[in-house]
């Protein structure tokens, strides 16, 4: 049976998600299981909360009661996860956890800013002109106004219908050698 890394979903007591994640991360380190249990994730999203007429951004769990784990399932790793305090079980049958499919994983990781694909590194400078190579603004030339390295995007001005319009595109959608 070949072993492969897949993302699985663990069910936890509500409110224990972060505790389970922390405990598991500690266990994995102390038992030297980093090559079997890779990443542990409690997907969060920003939510605007109104309190006393003030807006606050609060982190909210997207899947309360669930923790995602990227792991290779074998007897030992299954046992370690299953016996973590706060864990009630894997999603799937009792003995055979069901992995998430690729598309689900991609979407979740994207919302968490944890992309599977390595970020495209690009050297552009503000004021430089770049050509947009894909997406709705393909073939437009944009003048870079903002670079967001964290998100891997740039904002730029394009000339559309005789007006300057700001667009935001991914590093992977631009090229900057316009010779």
Task: Judge if 20 and 103 occupy the same domain.
Answer: yes
Give residue 119's pLDDT.
Answer: 55
Residue-wise pLDDT tens digits, 48-73: 888 888 888 888 898 999 999 999 99
What pTM, to 2 d.p., does this model score?
A: 0.60
pLDDT tens for 140-163 read 999 999 988 877 889 999 998 889
Contact assessment for residue 114 and residue 41, using Cβ atoms and an 8 Å cutoff: yes
Domain that holds residue 83: 4-110
Tokens of 27: 């266990």
What residues pair up with 147 in beta bridges, in sequence order? 154
In this structure, are 71 and 13 located in the same domain?
A: yes
Question: How many domains, the chain?
Answer: 2
The percentage of residues in the chain with a pLDDT greater than 70, rounded to a whole number, is 92
Token code pair at residue 66 = 């669930």
- Sheet with 141-148, strands from edge to edge, namely 163-170, 153-160, 141-148, 129-132, 174-175
**Residue 116: pLDDT over 80:** no
Task: Give the pLDDT score at 1.
Answer: 44
| Residue 77 · residue 87 · CB < 8 Å | no
Q: How confident is the model at residue 179 (pLDDT cuts 50, 70, 90)?
A: low
The answer to whether 17 and 66 are in contact (CB under 8 A) is yes
DSSP symbols for 28-51: HHHTT-TTTEEEEE--EEEEEEEE
Same domain? 59 vs 134: no
Pairing of the two strands 54-61 and 44-51:
antiparallel
pLDDT digits (tens, 9 = 90+) for 19-47: 999 999 999 999 999 999 999 999 998 88
Q: Record the tokens describing residue 133, joined without a space.
A: 């190579």
Same domain for 61 and 86, yes or no, is yes
């Amino acid at each position: 049976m070949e072993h492969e890394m897949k993302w699985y979903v663990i069910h936890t007591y509500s409110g224990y998600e972060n505790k389970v994640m922390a405990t598991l991360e500690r266990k994995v380190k102390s038992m030297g299981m980093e090559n079997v249990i890779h990443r542990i994730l409690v997907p969060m999203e920003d939510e605007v909360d109104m309190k006393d007429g003030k807006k606050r951004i609060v982190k909210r769990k997207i899947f309360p009661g669930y923790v995602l784990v990227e792991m290779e399932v074998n007897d030992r790793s299954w046992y370690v996860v299953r016996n973590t305090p706060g864990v009630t079980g894997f999603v799937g049958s009792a003995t055979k956890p069901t992995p998430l499919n690729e598309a689900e994983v991609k979407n979740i990781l994207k919302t968490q800013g944890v992309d599977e694909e390595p970020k495209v590194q690009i050297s552009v400078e503000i004021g430089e002109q770049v050509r947009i190579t894909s997406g709705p603004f393909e073939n437009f030339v944009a003048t870079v106004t903002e670079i967001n390295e964290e998100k891997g995007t740039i904002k730029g001005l394009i000339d559309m219908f005789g007006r300057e319009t700001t667009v935001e595109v991914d590093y992977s959608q631009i090229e900057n050698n316009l010779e």
